[in-house]
Amino acid sequence: ETAISLGQILGVDAIITGSITNLGKNVKINARLISTETGSVFAVASVNVLKDSTIKLLMGESISNSANNTSNPSQIPQHSGLKAPVVNHGIQFELKECFFTNGFLTTIFEVTNLDMDKEVSFYDRAKNGYARIIDDKGREFRSPQQFLGTHKQGWNGIENVTMVQDVGTQYTLKFPNVKSKPSTVKRLDMLLFIPDLQNYFTITFRDIPVE
């Protein structure tokens, strides 16, 4: 009766109700559409949203600025990798190691899905895009061997792997035919494909020290 009364007052056909639950890194939103003619629920939806700076502001959470971070080391975001993590469409890449041995340059990442469970693919080649590195000598190396957890590279890469929310998985790239050790990888590109979005995304790291 309340929904019907509100519908008459507001002159609308439906009312949206729901809840927002704070899950730490994410926010869960539950929504229901209620008909103002019958008072019954005719549609429901639920989604997890990555809590970025915009969402934090909407929820009234404070966000420290860069000036405060500089003056107060305890406010500087901490990470255990060689470089700051890169996040693209809810998939976080944190570089853990980069080393040269026996003609291979190997990079090891921890990849974490910060969003809802989803399928992803890590391609070696697609639409003329390749996983590659360019070192401080200007040399470019492509077509690495790839490993994601227990998944090994197929013809095009690692395809259709289900990544569970907030579970970190080791992702290894081994670039062959590196005849001498570089001191720095100036650029590293990886190719991420998300089937739900039917789109490719390039993940880039720069100025990586080589052990």
Residue 25 confidence (pLDDT): 73
> What band does 183 get if pLDDT is binned at 50, 70 and 90?
very high
Task: Report the CATH fold assignment for 86-209.
Answer: Immunoglobulin-like (2.60.40)
SS (H, E, C) the chain: CHHHHHHHHHCCCEEEEEEEEECCCEEEEEEEEEECCCCCEEEEEEEEEECCHHHHHHCCCCCCCHHHHHHCHHHCCCCCCCCCCEEECCEEEEEEEEEEECCEEEEEEEEEECCCCEEEEEECEECCEECEEEECCCCEEECCEEEECCEECCCCEEEEEEECECCEEEEEEEECCCCCCCCEEEEEEEEEEECCCCEEEEEEEEEEECC
CA distance linking residue 158 with residue 11, whole number of Å: 53
How do residues 37-70 score in pLDDT, each as one tens digit? 887 887 777 777 777 767 777 776 654 443 334 4
Residue 124 confidence (pLDDT): 63
- Mean pLDDT (the chain) is 80
> Between 76 and 6, where is the model more confident?
6
How do residues 148-157 score in pLDDT, each as one tens digit? 888 887 777 7
Q: Where are the domains of the chain?
A: 2-75, 86-209
Q: Domain spanning 2-75 has what CATH number?
A: 3.40.50.10610
> What band does 74 get if pLDDT is binned at 50, 70 and 90?
very low
In this structure, the number of other CB atoms found within 10 A of the CB of residue 113 comes to 20
